[in-house]
A and B are shown apart, each in its own frame.
Chain A
């Protein structure tokens, strides 16, 4: 059974470039979360969707960040333009009513902005 799939696993980009991170949640899960992890701030929830609808985006740091979920099996997190302080590991996670409150994380996208 495939878990949450994220791509790319690693990305190095130059400041000012657009970055798009992709996520495929576990099939049948109807909640999707984007987290950012840094040494300084730990795990931060950026945004979460329920049934493809954004429910809480209060964690999105600024307008440079945007997230979409066009269908139940795909989501993107976009950073435009990227800055060095965006360097972090970005995790996508999903859950469902069947799984209760268990959130399943992907392996993360390691972003470095130089």
Chain B
């Protein structure tokens, strides 16, 4: 059973446009929501993360919007660049306590292509 559902599976955006990737979860015990970025031939790397005590977090061109009541969160990439072309994974976890420390549930990924 997929704990985190991600859409779309693929996304094509023109340079300068806004890329939006959405995720939804069911487990209300989740309280940490990171996004990972993966380039071809590399492992995923943490891009940005949010906790549910805030509704939005921005780092440069990347913003996470979080809707706790809807159990949804999304990644917005402003002014998308060809160098942003990668696969993006949303994830969720419970804050590390004992044996569940750091256990992340990943979405299926979104392949983003930004055309120049």
Q: Give the distance in Å from the alpha carbon of A95 to the alpha carbon of B101 in the complex.
A: 9
Determine whether the beta carbon of B109 is less than 8 Å from that of A101: no
Main DSSP-derived SS at the A contact region: strand
Distance in Å: Cβ of B112 to nearest Cβ of chain A = 15
Main DSSP-derived SS at the B contact region: loop
In the complex, residue of chain B having the shortest beta-carbon distance to the beta carbon of A102: B46
- Quick check: is B42 within 8 A (CB to CB) of the other chain? yes
Interface centre among A93, A100, A103 (most CB of B within 10 A): A103
B43's contact among A45, A97, A100, A106, by CB below 8 Å, is which?
Answer: A106
Q: Give the distance in Å from the alpha carbon of A69 to the alpha carbon of B98 in the complex.
A: 18
- Quick check: is B58 within 8 A (CB to CB) of the other chain? no
- Quick check: is B106 within 8 A (CB to CB) of the other chain? yes
| Interface size grouping (class) on chain A | 20 to 34
Determine whether the beta carbon of A101 is less than 8 Å from that of B32: yes
Q: Given A42-B108, A43-B44, A95-B101, are A101 and B89 also a contact pair (CB < 8 Å)?
A: no
Chain A residues lying within 8 Å of B34, measured Cβ to Cβ, are: 101-102
Chain B residues lying within 8 Å of A95, measured Cβ to Cβ, are: 101-102
Determine whether the beta carbon of B95 is less than 8 Å from that of A101: yes
List residues of B (1-59) whose CB comes within 8 Å of A's CBs.
32, 34, 41-46, 49
Determine whether the beta carbon of A43 is less than 8 Å from that of B103: no
Which residues of A pack against B, CB within 8 Å? 4, 31, 33, 42-43, 45, 48, 50, 55-56, 91, 93, 95, 97, 100-108
